[in-house]
Amino acid sequence: MSSYTSSPSPPLLFTNCLLLNPLNSSPTPRNLLVVDGLIVDEKEYFYNKSATLNPVVVDCEGKVLMPGMIDVQINGSHGCDYSSLSNGFMIMHSRLELLKTGCTSHCPTLVSLSKKEEYHGILPQLVNPPSPYDSSHYVVDVVSENIGIHLEGPHFCPSKKGAHKIGNIHDPSESKGGRKRDRNSNQTSVFETWKDLVGPSWNSVKIVTLAPELPNSMKLINALSENGIVPSVGHSSSTYSVGSEAVKNGANLITHLYNAMTPFHHREPGLIGLSQTTNFSIISDGVHVHPTGVKFAFEGNKNGCCLVTDAMGAMGLQDGMHKLGEVRIKKIASARVIIPLLHTYSSSLRSSLLAPRQMEVEKVGTKVVIKGTDTLAGSVAR
């Protein structure tokens, strides 16, 4: 997703480290060899390439070595709001700081914007951050990589808008000016309308969050899926049956489970009921969702659980007033962000490295597991 290039990196040999092993509940002591960005079998590679291999050796000093984290919903960080026109330095600075938190790749997330011209201007700059910036410090292998844009909106249920500006929300059967389109539009015209809204960089979009109950939403979900874009249901008052239809049409993700959706009810489970069989993201920051709610969702679908930060530009900054798109928000103590007067929770301020730590854990010998399960969350072995 980036035009930044760099020279080939030398092989890396990580020694004296503990590796998370899916076949073993405890981290395994061993070395790890990385060549051209790929993990390779150390013994086999040395046997075949020993004459040409001069790796850089990194002593991990007995620490756990784990894959970099991927954040598929993040609105900004360290002073950069992805939903506002910015400059190359701020974007690259944000990506550099994200890497320091353990987030090696991410989906820059845009909230609902007021004009299509904003989408047309912002998306290209996120894909190829403009100058000025010092390219010697911002190359693709030393910053968090942009793996595709996440558009959160603007096709939401107004009553589930969350921190999005109500005037920016509309359904796929309306133009931005509010003029009704034909609710019987075919799938092609619905998708063309969406592409006109997003602009020429529409193919840089990899995830779109929308409410499935809106007119023409099913057609858009189907079209997005057919074009390699992940439709994610959220900011919705959808019933379970409508959500199930969305899944049949190609939706395979639920955006920030529990938040901005109808609460679970034993007679009408809504979108939350789909989380047992559908991939879902969840904000595990200790604020948006109670730890028991996180555990409940995780136990119901361990393979489909995706932790996200939903962080914003105020992450890494001081308390005070900040922006999320066109909405003014207030960062207060305890990592909370609220919209003044409404007292509505907005985005998170947690880094991806802290998200797993918010899941309730307990120490069992030298292991740290998610409380009440045998699922490994970390290690205290040295």
Annotated binding site: 152, 235, 256
Cα-based angle 90, 260, 112 (whole degrees, multiple of 5): 40
Beta strand 361-364 with 367-370 is antiparallel
Query: Which residue, 35, 36, 22, is CA-closest to 66?
Result: 22
With a CB cutoff of 8 Å and minimum separation 6, the contacts of 365 are none
**Best CA proximity match to 110, nearest among 153, 72, 157:** 153
Yes or no: say if 256 and 309 are a contact pair by the CB < 8 Å rule: no
- Rounded CA-CA distance 48/51 in Å is 8
In the annotation, is 171 catalytic? no
103 and 68 Cβ atoms separated by less than 8 Å: yes
Binding-site positions for Zn(2+): 152, 235, 256
Q: 282: exposed, middle or buried (C-beta count within 10 Å: 0-12, 13-18, 19+)?
A: buried
Q: What is the CA angle 236-353-260, rounded to 5?
A: 10
> If you count DSSP H runs as helices and E runs as strands, how many of each does the chain have, helices first?
8, 23
From the list 196, 310, 319, 374, the catalytic residue is 310
Q: Where are the alpha helices (DSSP H) in 227-369?
A: 240-248, 270-274, 291-300
User: Per this entry, what is the length of the chain?
Assistant: 382
**Which of the residues are catalytic?**
310
